[in-house]
Amino acid sequence: MRLLISTFLVLLLTGATFMAGQVRLSAFEIRAVGSDFQVSWTTEVEDEVRQFEIMRRSPNSNDQFVRVHSSSAHGIGQEYGFIDTQVFKSGSDKLDYRLDAVYFNGVREAVRTESVNYTSTAVRRTWGSLKAMFQ
């Protein structure tokens, strides 16, 4: 019985060292700001988080997520944000943003993924030029 309890405690403590912390968001938003996108989030729980990373996926990135921003953890209730100014240089019409939490023990966790549809800058300018021609 003593061996069983000792084994259980060792497994429990070993497992606890490899487990990551926890993140829970109270807000996550992506919105257009002119020709850019602003990604913002606020945490409700932020245990053992070293940093947050914003990843972006588009057809131009071979449908792979690429890190576009990282931010050190500030603490619960703090608002985080990033303005993506490199969006309209690609020809895609759909972007995926993913928020990753990187914990102090090195574990990475995808916290949230959102998709955004947009019209590229070139198309906007062309559409604006067409409208101006008929006014």
* Domain 22-133: CATH architecture, name and number where available: Sandwich (2.60)
Share of the chain above pLDDT 90, in %: 50
User: Contacts for 58-65 with beta carbons within 8 Å, 24 or more apart?
Assistant: 58/90, 58/92, 58/94, 58/95, 58/96, 59/90, 59/91, 59/92, 59/94, 60/90, 60/91, 60/92, 65/96, 65/98
What pLDDT does residue 60 have?
Answer: 76
Residue 50: is it exposed, middle or buried by C-beta count within 10 angstroms (0-12/13-18/19+)?
A: middle
pLDDT, tens digit (0-9, with 9 covering 90-100), for 99-110? 999 999 999 999
The alpha carbon of 81 is separated from its chain's Cα centroid by a whole number of angstroms, namely 10
Q: What is the pLDDT of residues 12-33, one digit of tens each?
A: 444 444 455 799 999 999 998 8
The two beta strands, 94-103 and 79-84, are unpaired
Nearest to 88 by CA among 45, 125, 51: 125
Domain spans of the chain, in order of start: 22-133
pLDDT surpassing 90 at residue 59: no
Whole-angstrom distance, CA of residue 130 vs CA of residue 9: 72
Based on the number of CB atoms within 10 Å of its own CB, is 46 exposed (0-12), middle (13-18) or buried (19 or more)? buried
Whether the pTM exceeds 0.95: the reply is: no
**Across all residues in the chain, what is the average pLDDT?**
79
**Given pLDDT bands bounded at 50, 70 and 90, which one contains residue 117?**
confident
